[in-house]
Structure 1
Amino acid sequence: MRILLVEDDADLGPAIARALRAEHFAVDIAANGIDAGHLGETETYDAAVLDLGLPHRDGVSVLRDWRAAGRDLPVLILTARDAWSDKVAGFKAGADDYLTKPFRVEELVMRLRALVRRAAGHAATRLECGPIGFETQTGQFELDGLPLKLTAFEWRVLSALMLRKDTVIERLDLMERVYEGDADVDSNSLEVIVGRLRKKIGRDRIETVRGRGYRLTAGDAA
């Protein structure tokens, strides 16, 4: 899962990014409204965390322009503004959730996971595909009921496939959800990650659709 974090506080922004990365999210940071508007309209994100009080452009205007441009990514407003009028303005602009500062990082993470899950069309918090289970609120994967140990990149790939199981995810789309915007990505790095996942969950459970991408299926254990 790739998150756009829009936060101008020079200490808080990196601290939130570190906390999200510790939960396996890929994170891009924008510290002002102009950069936020550009990234939100041109890059692929599973969700955005958006502050309201930003340099150059207010967060509400950024969000309003995203929606006008047809960008439907889930947006969680994270701000010190707790007045009812600010909340109304945020939701009218197209926000999906609203969290005020100070906050607990654990709550932010759970809200983000819930937003991404619902955006993918899932109401239940636990997803299953054959013997693979995914507890979306904790981020824990299981195989045959036992915890599955994954690297951050493996988790991002498998979560993207799990949220859209039985659906082909194009290679470029999958890469955009796995790597941060400034990452130096090797041309075959995604294939390496998929290969490692196949060794952990079973070769036939991730299907390669030639010329398009990958699809997660119940598959066989072979």
Structure 2
Amino acid sequence: MFYWLLKRVLVGPLLWLFFRPEVEGLEHVPAEGAAILASNHLSFSDSFFLPLVVPRRTTFMAKAEYFDTPGLKGRLTAWFFRGVGATPVDRSGGRASEAALRTGLRVLEAGELFGIYPEGTRSPDGRLYRGRTGVARLALEARVPVIPVAMIDTEKVQPPGQVLPKPGRVGIRIGEPLDFSRYYGLESDRFVLRSVTDEIMYALMRLSDQEYVDIYASSVKGRAAAAAAAAQRAA
């Protein structure tokens, strides 16, 4: 109930009023049945705009920090994400990542839509980065189609570090579903997982018109943080 209350009464009308999302390809989202919505990730607000325009409920992964950050802002953020049915994902890898995938599988096995950002984190500079293979595992294990989604200009209305978005026009382009049935039963093959993931990222690149960078966004962010720390020590 809280999900639909936010979407239709509390938050949704304001988003439509101030950001006027331009949506293309909504017909590619099935009216029923499980599917993965795989999106590029430019802004914190991506998790608001995509569920806003998709008629069906969409469960998204959200980083665990959104659920356990202290302070008033942290409590409000956790309250919002729990209310919209987001599932926390621990990005430390290993068993934590496996648990997140299991959660995604449960959502898909229930016949629902599951949203994921294959890059694993927001783009640091507006370019599209290498995808993590978790999206491929989900698609092959659940045996569901992957629908590529391109968020357009969301980083302009809410750049990284900006608490509240500023009014502006955003776009959402939804591509045709990708069928990976030819790979069913091969979800343990890392070469297949990489091939499937790369095909998804290629579809996102074509939809979004972003420049593609064949390294992980988290690696770029890690190097930038290390460089900033080194510069601070030197100063």
Whether these two folds match at TM > 0.5 is no
Whichever structure has more helix as a proportion of its residues is 2
Q: RCO (CA 8 Å, sep 6+): is it higher in 1 or 2? A: 2
Normalising to structure 1: TM-score of the pair? 0.30
TM-score (norm 2): 0.29
